[in-house]
Amino acid sequence: MAEISSTTKRSPHEPVTTERLEVSDEAVADEIRIVQSIQAHNYMPALLFGNAYTVLAVMYITWPVAMTSGAVYGFVAELILLLPMVHSYFRLRGRPRPERVSRRRIRSIVIYSLLLGLAWGVTFYLMNTEIGREDGIALIVVMYLLIYGSVAMMPSLPKASIAYMSPIIVSSFFGAFWHDILSLAWLLLLYFGALSAVGLSMWQNWHDLGRSVRLRLENLQAQRITEQSKEVLERVSGQLAKYISPQLYRAILDGKQQVSIASQRKKLTIFFSDIAGFTETTDQLESEELTAVLNQYLTEMSKIAQEYGANFDKFIGDAIVLYFGDPETRGVRQDASDCVRMAIAMQRRMRELQSEWRDMGLERPFEIRIGINTGYCTVGNFGSEDRMDYTIIGGEVNLAARLEYEAEAGGILLAYETWSLVKDWVRAEEAETITVKGFARPITTYRVRGIQSEPDDKARVFRHEQEGLNVILDRDRLGAEEKVKAAEALRNALRVLEKD
């Protein structure tokens, strides 16, 4: 609505303030016309009542004079001129604030005021031809009341007020002078005082109106710019939030995390996963199919990670790196527990996805292997002042990556410290020890088999793949009838093998 310009050059990153805003004169004029139209409508009942009451009162008091002087025709003309005001008031009543008011409408109000003022002026002049000194002074008082009323009722319409009162002042002045109502000296004194007071009032009203309108437009523009900046910031922040972990994102917005080159040592639980035999599996897929399946896999795993409060470190192709314990932590034991529960949930979800992918025609659906370790890492911002990455480094991170490499397809491999933190509720078996560069002793590992509160036969999933044989048995997905059918199918398969 208003044009904005800046008085000084501004950096793109510098916030906009109302002191720097400039509203164009055209915008102010447009807004003033809206205010004038609204005020004219709001004060219309008072103006209508004031003029109608004055007409009827003067006619009643001076009826013989009005008849003999012909002023009655002026009174009739005034009453007729009030009818368009009634029509306009009811036509515009209840309408919302206009977006724009044309100059033509304001001119029509001014012309209407001039016509009403001319009717009053002619009436006053004709009345002065037939009345005496006292009644003439009374008419001058009535004239003053009409003039002050028009200025008071239409503070934002000085042109309309001038158009209304000019004929009244001119006719009453010359009528009073030519018919000896008052002497020229008294008339000049009275009219000079009246015009000075009225003129000062109109100038003050107009000055205040322009200043208030300009200030309002500046505030609206500043608010609009602030809202637009906020929308842009929220949109950009929402997009950037997809590139960093939710916890880190919230910490930066809350001021808890400084964006500077800095790091600290913390005890974290680190999670590594990737797709077993990814290269061999992808050779079977077209690029479009691979993209769709891989994105589905990463999306489903990300949902589970967010559900358990994992901090995203990075995606490395088909691999996922997560950690628990920074910037928010629930304690080392609870962080490890959340991480292992998340890993179990991921493997269960993968079994569901594998069934979907087989239905899609994928012969060897993705299987993931997971490695989890708990230990002290260096976590923080690494890089330069202009480009940095919030990540974790250290030997414990390397150990988690090695555990993932040593894990079986569809399995979860834990380091000893992680196992010691979750052994109260996790069912696991000791696996082979591994040697990792940077660790003086071999690392004891544990293979997760399920949760202790679940029966062993319910949690276990049987898998066997070899040339000419592919068996995956998931008891969680089999109902009573399906188990009977599966058992019969396995017995038939066994009979086929025994024939040889």
CB 344 within 8 A of CB 451: yes
For β-strands 412-415 and 445-451, DSSP reports them as antiparallel
Run of H or E including 5: strand 4-6
User: Span 255-278, mean pLDDT?
Assistant: 81
15-21: long-range pairs with CB below 8 Å, 24+: 15/229, 16/222, 16/225, 16/226, 16/229, 17/222, 18/218, 18/219, 18/221, 18/222, 21/218, 21/221, 21/222
| Predicted local confidence at residue 1, as pLDDT | 40
Looking at mean pLDDT, say which of 115-124, 235-244, 409-418, 454-463 comes out highest.
Answer: 409-418
CB 267 within 8 A of CB 325: yes
pLDDT per residue over 20-66, tens digit each? 467 788 888 888 888 888 888 888 888 888 888 888 888 878 888 88
| Predicted local confidence at residue 81, as pLDDT | 87
Looking at mean pLDDT, say which of 63-67, 130-134, 351-355, 444-448 comes out highest.
Answer: 444-448
Positive or negative, the Cα torsion across 382, 385, 388, 391?
A: positive
pLDDT band at 446; cut points 50, 70, 90: very high
| Predicted local confidence at residue 75, as pLDDT | 86
Which of the residue ranges 179-188, 417-426, 463-472 would you say has the lowest mean pLDDT? Answer: 463-472
155 preceded by a cis bond (ω within 30 of 0)? no
Q: What is the DSSP letter of 259?
A: -
SS3 180: coil
CB 377 within 8 A of CB 265: yes
pLDDT band at 244; cut points 50, 70, 90: low
Contacts (Cβ under 8 Å, ≥6 apart) of 172: 121, 124, 125, 128, 139, 140, 143
Q: What phi-psi label fits residue 418: left (phi over 0), alpha (psi between -120 and 50 degrees) or beta? A: alpha
pLDDT band at 267; cut points 50, 70, 90: very high
Looking at mean pLDDT, say which of 152-156, 347-351, 450-454 comes out highest.
Answer: 347-351
Whole-angstrom distance, CA of residue 119 vs CA of residue 58? 14
pLDDT band at 97; cut points 50, 70, 90: confident
Looking at mean pLDDT, say which of 107-121, 165-179, 183-197, 201-215 comes out highest.
Answer: 107-121
| Predicted local confidence at residue 74, as pLDDT | 85
Looking at mean pLDDT, say which of 15-19, 266-270, 447-451 comes out highest.
Answer: 266-270
| Predicted local confidence at residue 62, as pLDDT | 81
> Alpha-carbon dihedral of residues 331, 332, 337, 342, nearest 10 degrees?
90
In this prediction the pTM is 0.53
| Predicted local confidence at residue 12, as pLDDT | 43
Higher pLDDT pick, 50 / 467: 50
Which of these CATH numbers, 3.30.70.1230, 3.40.120.10, 3.40.50.720, 3.40.50.2300, describes 260-459? 3.30.70.1230
Whole-angstrom distance, CA of residue 493 vs CA of residue 497? 6
CB 346 within 8 A of CB 304: yes
For β-strands 368-383 and 412-415, DSSP reports them as parallel
SS3 94: coil
- Percent of the chain whose predicted confidence (pLDDT) is above 70: 86
Which of the residue ranges 14-23, 25-34, 192-201, 444-453 would you say has the lowest mean pLDDT? Answer: 14-23
SS3 139: helix
pLDDT band at 457; cut points 50, 70, 90: very low
User: Span 394-416, mean pLDDT?
Assistant: 93
Whole-angstrom distance, CA of residue 253 vs CA of residue 185? 77
| Predicted local confidence at residue 121, as pLDDT | 84
User: Span 187-198, mean pLDDT?
Assistant: 78
Higher pLDDT pick, 431 / 390: 431
| Predicted local confidence at residue 4, as pLDDT | 41
